[in-house]
C-alpha cells in the first residue's frame, strides 16, 4: 500500500473513532464491547475506502489487492439522491405556534383529557431546521408540561448534542399531547384526533428534516404500517419534507445496543443538513 493510501486509511480510522467516542461519551456509555466479527468488518471497510480514494502516480506499481468482498460504490451524490428528487416543498402556513396552541386550549377532544395533568405542546425553536417527533408524553412530561424531559428526554438531549446541535436549536413534539394511562400506546382514534395539530405546526415551521422516533410517530406521519426496524435509516418524505425514521430513546434505554444504529441515522441527518444552503 502506498503512503497516500496508508495516510487516508489512518485519517478515516481516526475520524470514525473520534465520532463514535464523542457519541458514546455523550450518551453516558462506560463500556463498549466489540466482537471479532465487527472488527474484521471495520478493517475491510477501511481497506475498501482506502483503495477507492487512493490515486497512484502514473507508472507506479500497485501491490494492494482488495479483499474478496462484493461492493458497488455509489455515485458521489447518491447519499442525497432521494432527498434531492423529492416532491415540491409544501407552502409554509402563516400560522404561529401560539395560534395553534391557543386553538388546542385545554383540550377535551378525546378521553385522554380525563387522566392527564396538562396538555404537553411541542417545544423548541419555532425556526428550527430539525424536528423530532415521538409518541406521547410520559409521567415527567405530564407533570412539567414539556415534551421529552424524563430519562428518554435526557438521552434525546445527548443525541442532539452528539450531532453538534443544542436542544434549543431544534423542535421537539409528539403525535399526542396528553399522557395515555399507564404510558400505553395511543389508540388510532386518539392519534387521529390529535395529529392534525402536529401537521399544522410542521406546516408553520417547515423544518428541513423531521426525525420520527418509534412506530407510533412513523405510522402517523408516513402512514407506514411496517415496524421501525424495517424502515429506519432511510430518508422518507412527508409533504415535501425529509423524514428520517429511527428508534425511540425509550427503546434505547431498554436495548442500548441500538444506540449505534441511531447514531448512523442521525449522522445522515447531520450530513444532509450540512449539505443545504443557509436559511435566509
Cβ burial 119-130 (10 Å sphere, 16+ → b, else e): bbbbbbbeebbb
Give residue 27's pLDDT.
53
Distance between CA atoms of residues 218 and 211, nearest Å: 9
Which pLDDT belongs to residue 12?
Answer: 65
Q: Label residue 35 by pLDDT band (50, 70, 90).
A: very low
Find the mean pLDDT for residues 249-273.
97
Give the domains, in start order, of the chain with CATH numbers. Answer: 3-73 (no CATH), 82-275 (3.40.470.10)
Per-residue pLDDT band at 64 (split at 50, 70, 90): very low
C-alpha cell at 216: 407510533
10-14, 26-30, 262-266: least confidently modelled range: 26-30
For 78-92, what is each residue's pLDDT tens digit? 333 343 344 445 678
Element (H, E) at 147: none
Which string of DSSP letters, residue by residue, matches 216-255? HHHHHHH---S-HHHHTTS-EEETTEEEEEE--HHHHHH-
CB-based contact 80:273 (threshold 8 Å): no
Global confidence as pTM: 0.70
User: How much is the pLDDT for 19?
Assistant: 61
Look at 140 and 9; give whichever has higher pLDDT.
140
For residue range 160-195, what is the model confidence (pLDDT) as tens digits? 999 999 999 999 999 999 999 999 999 999 999 999
Average pLDDT, the chain: 80
Quick one: pLDDT band at residue 22, thresholds 50, 70, 90?
low
pLDDT of residue 17: 65
Amino acid at each position: 500500500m502506498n503512503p497516500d493510501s496508508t495516510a487516508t486509511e489512518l485519517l478515516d480510522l481516526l475520524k470514525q473513532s473520534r465520532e463514535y467516542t464523542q457519541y458514546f461519551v455523550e450518551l453516558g456509555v462506560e463500556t463498549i464491547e466489540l466482537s471479532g466479527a465487527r472488527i474484521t468488518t471495520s478493517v475491510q471497510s477501511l481497506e475498501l475506502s482506502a483503495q477507492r480514494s487512493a490515486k497512484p502516480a502514473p507508472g507506479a506499481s500497485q501491490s494492494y489487492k482488495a479483499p474478496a468482498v462484493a461492493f458497488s460504490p455509489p455515485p458521489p451524490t447518491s447519499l442525497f439522491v432521494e432527498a434531492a428528487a423529492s416532491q415540491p416543498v409544501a407552502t409554509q402556513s402563516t400560522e404561529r405556534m401560539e395560534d395553534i396552541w391557543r386553538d388546542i386550549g385545554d383540550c377535551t377532544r378525546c378521553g385522554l383529557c380525563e387522566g392527564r395533568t396538562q396538555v404537553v405542546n411541542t417545544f423548541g425553536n419555532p425556526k428550527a431546521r430539525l424536528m423530532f417527533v415521538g409518541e406521547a408524553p410520559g409521567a415527567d412530561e405530564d407533570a412539567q408540561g414539556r415534551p421529552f424531559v424524563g430519562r428518554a428526554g435526557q438521552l434525546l438531549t445527548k443525541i442532539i448534542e452528539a450531532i453538534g446541535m443544542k436542544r434549543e436549536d431544534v423542535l421537539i413534539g409528539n403525535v399526542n399531547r396528553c399522557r395515555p394511562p399507564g404510558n400505553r400506546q395511543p389508540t388510532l382514534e386518539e392519534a387521529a384526533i390529535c395529529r392534525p395539530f402536529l401537521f399544522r405546526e410542521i406546516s408553520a415551521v417547515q423544518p428541513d428534516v423531521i426525525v420520527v422516533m418509534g412506530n407510533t410517530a412513523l405510522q402517523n406521519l408516513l402512514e407506514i404500517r411496517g415496524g421501525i426496524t424495517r424502515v429506519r435509516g432511510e430518508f422518507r418524505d412527508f409533504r415535501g419534507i425529509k423524514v428520517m425514521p429511527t428508534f425511540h430513546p425509550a427503546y434505547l434505554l431498554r436495548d442500548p445496543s441500538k444506540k449505534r444504529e441511531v447514531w448512523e441515522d442521525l449522522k445522515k441527518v447531520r450530513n444532509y443538513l450540512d449539505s443545504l444552503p443557509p436559511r435566509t
